[in-house]
Amino acid sequence: MSFIVTGGHSPIAVAISKNLSKRSSVFHLTRKCDETLRNTFANNANIILEEWDLERTDDCLEKLKRLLILENIEGIIFAHRYRSESVKPITQYVVEVETPFQLLRHYCENYTGQNGSAVILTSPASESVVPDQSFNYHASKAALSQLVKYAAIHFKDKGVRTNGISPGAFIEKERSRKFYETNVQRLEEIKAFIPLRRLGTADEIANLVSYLCSENSSYINGVIIKIDGGYSNMEPSYAL
């Protein structure tokens, strides 16, 4: 049994692959396989790094077809996002929406097992405005949320369940450590606003992915789970 995880260097994608590798092999996809990523998984024989450029949809489909012939793929997790110094709307759509849609469709249409899973990471920007993100980011995340629902209905007949996860804005990441260290007071204000009084972690998201990719969640299909410590339920005046 194997899983496919997109996401390259993303801390969340890395955590997902490490978590899933405890019980199966994982194909961790990245646009460019560099030394940093190799070192990240150096001591984990269950994680196989592969270079897939999600801008090239047809090429990715061919790689998936070959992989499905060789491996029993029980799940595919989309945990990547478009990263570029110059945002190109069409390219961003291809990377974040079109290629995942085509890969997911082909996977579902060719799945032969009993409990296949697809998990798509979306964002609060799929339903609310996030001030530091572009319109294209919002549009792509909204499309991914619809893909969760669409796939759950249209791709269900082959035994693949599709669900989504919307990580909150306050997930602790290594790349944000400098901000935390230099904005201690702001960090405490953020924690005070979150009902659980702390930041979330990439491992907590990975744990949820693992659950959604297990038989324990066999009747969960087409839902998007918010993992944000409960702050999305707060009335805005609580932040004042």
> Minimal CA–CA distance to 121: which of 159, 82, 160?
82
Distance CA 9, CA 80 (A): 9
Distances (CA, A) of 35 to 42, 147, 213, 221, 228: 10, 33, 29, 37, 32
SS3 content of the chain, % helix, strand, coil (to 5): 50, 20, 30
- The single residue of 93, 137, 219, 238 carrying the catalytic annotation is 137
> Minimal CA–CA distance to 92: which of 37, 141, 22?
141
Q: Is 137 considered catalytic here?
A: yes
Tokens of 40: 């990240």
Residues tagged active-site = 137
